[in-house]
Chain A
Amino acid sequence: MNIWISIIIAGIINYLSRLGSVLLIKPERLNENTKKILSYVPSAVFPAIIFPAVFLNESNAIVQINDPKIIGFIVSIIIGYLSKSIITTIISGLLSYWLVIFLF
C-alpha cells in the first residue's frame, strides 16, 4: 500500500477514535453508574502508559529494583504526593533519575 494512503487511513481512524464518543454519546442517556465509572478514566488509562515505560527495559524485561527509572519514579511519587504540584513532580523525578545515572 502506498505510504500516503496508509497515513491517511491511520489518520482518519485516529481522528474517529477522538470524535466517536463526542459525536455519538448522548450524556443525558448515561446513568449515574456509568458517569461514576467514567470518572476513573484517567486512573485507568495513564498507568498503562506509565508502568511499561518505568518497569520494562528495551528488551521488554522487568528492570532491576535499583534501576534509575525506579528511583526516579519513587522520588517523583513521594515529592508529588507532598507537593501536589505537576511541575514539581516531573522535575523531581527527572533530577533524581539524572543524579543516579550521572553519579553512579
Chain B
Amino acid sequence: MSKKTENLFKGFYDVSPLLLPVVPFGIIFGAIGIELGFGPYITYATSIIIFSGASQIVFFQLLSNGASSIIAITSSSVVSTRHLLYGAVVVQYLSKLSLTWKIFLSYLLTDQSFAVSQEFFKKNPNDEYKHYYLLGAGLTLWTIWQITTIIGILLGSIVPDELGLTFTIPLTFLALLINYFRKIDHLFVILISGLSSIIFYDAPFKSYIIISSLLSLTAIFLLIKFKKKI
C-alpha cells in the first residue's frame, strides 16, 4: 500500500469510533428539518452547503421559531467560528500544500476530523502525505453525514427519543479529551472553558462556544506568562 492510501485509510479507521453519534444525529437532523416544515430539498441542501451539524440545527431552530434570516445566519456563523481555531492549528502542518488542496481540505475540516488529524499531525510532522489522513477522516464524516441526513429525511424520526442518543455527542467530545485529563495545564483549560460555557450559555447568537474557547485560551496564556516570571 502506498503511503497516500495508508494515511487515507488510517484517517478513515481512526475517525470511525466517532461516527457513533454522527449516525443518530444525522438521522435526527434530517427528521427535524422535515418536522419543522423545511421540506426535503432545503433540509438536504444544508448538509452539503453548511455541512456542520451544530450550525444547521441552530439555523433551522431559529428560523422555525420566527427569527429573521439575519439572526439565523449570524448565529450559525458564530457557532462556526471555532473552526478558525482549528484552522490555525492544522495550518502549521499544511502550509506547504497547494491552494486547491487547502480549499478542498478546509471544506472537510470538522470537529471530529480536526480532533483526530491534529493528533496524527503532531505525531507525524514530517510525513509528506499527512494531509491524506485528514482527507480520509473528512471524507468518511462527509459521506456518513450525507447518507444519514437522507435517511432522516426519508424515514423521519426512526431514532427513538427515549434512547437519548444525543447524549453520545458530549460523550464523543469527552472521549477526544480523555488523554488531556492527565495533564494539569490541559485540565485547567478544560475546566475554565466548561464553566464559562455554562455561565455564558445564554449569550447572544450562541456565542458561548467561542467565548469560552477564547477565555480559556487567554487564561492559559496568562498562566504561562505568570509562571515564566517566577
Give me the interface of A with B, judged by CB distance under 8 Å: 1, 3-11, 13-15, 17-23, 25-28, 30, 33, 35-56, 60, 62, 68-69, 72-73, 76-77, 80-81, 84, 86-87, 89-90, 93-94, 97-98, 101
User: Do residues B177 and A56 form an inter-chain contact, with CB atoms below 8 A?
Assistant: no
A21-B91, A23-B102, A89-B171 given as contacts; is B73 within 8 A of A10 (CB)? Answer: yes
Interface residues of B in 167-187 (CB under 8 A from A): 167-182, 185-186
Interface majority SS on A: helix, strand, loop or mixed?
helix
User: How long is the Cα–Cα vector from A46 to B111 in the complex, in angstroms?
Assistant: 9
Q: Is B158 located at the chain interface by the 8 A CB criterion?
A: no
Number of A-B contacts (CB under 8 A): 269
User: How long is the Cα–Cα vector from A93 to B167 in the complex, in angstroms?
Assistant: 9
Taking each of B111, B168, B191, which has the highest tally of chain A beta carbons within 10 Å of its own beta carbon? B168
User: Do residues B118 and A60 form an inter-chain contact, with CB atoms below 8 A?
Assistant: no
Q: Is B154 located at the chain interface by the 8 A CB criterion?
A: no
Q: Which residue of A lies closest to B96 (CB)?
A: A27
Q: Which residue of A lies closest to B217 (CB)?
A: A44
User: How long is the Cα–Cα vector from A10 to B18 in the complex, in angstroms?
Assistant: 26
Q: Is B90 located at the chain interface by the 8 A CB criterion?
A: yes
Q: Is B103 located at the chain interface by the 8 A CB criterion?
A: yes
Interface size band for B: 35 or more
Residues of chain A contacted by B180 (CB below 8 angstroms):
42-43
Residues of chain A contacted by B89 (CB below 8 angstroms):
38-39, 41
Residues of chain B contacted by A89 (CB below 8 angstroms):
171, 174-175, 178
Give me the interface of B with A, judged by CB distance under 8 Å: 17-18, 20-21, 38, 42, 45-46, 49-52, 54-55, 59, 63, 68-70, 72-73, 76-77, 80-92, 94-95, 102-103, 105-107, 109, 111, 114-115, 118, 162-164, 166-182, 185-186, 189-191, 193-198, 201-202, 208-209, 212-214, 216-217, 220-221, 224
User: Do residues A37 and B220 form an inter-chain contact, with CB atoms below 8 A?
Assistant: yes
Residues of chain A contacted by B201 (CB below 8 angstroms):
52, 56, 60
Contact of A14 among B77, B102, B197, B220 (CB under 8 A): B77
A42-B176, A86-B176 given as contacts; is B50 within 8 A of A49 (CB)? Answer: no
Contact of B197 among A48, A76, A84 (CB under 8 A): A48
User: Do residues B190 and A43 form an inter-chain contact, with CB atoms below 8 A?
Assistant: yes
Give the Cβ gap from B52 to chain A, nearest Cβ, in Å.
6
User: Do residues B73 and A53 form an inter-chain contact, with CB atoms below 8 A?
Assistant: no
Residues of chain A contacted by B95 (CB below 8 angstroms):
25-28
User: Do residues A86 and B18 form an inter-chain contact, with CB atoms below 8 A?
Assistant: yes
A18-B83, A90-B168 given as contacts; is B107 within 8 A of A7 (CB)? Answer: no
Give the Cβ gap from A4 to chain B, nearest Cβ, in Å.
7
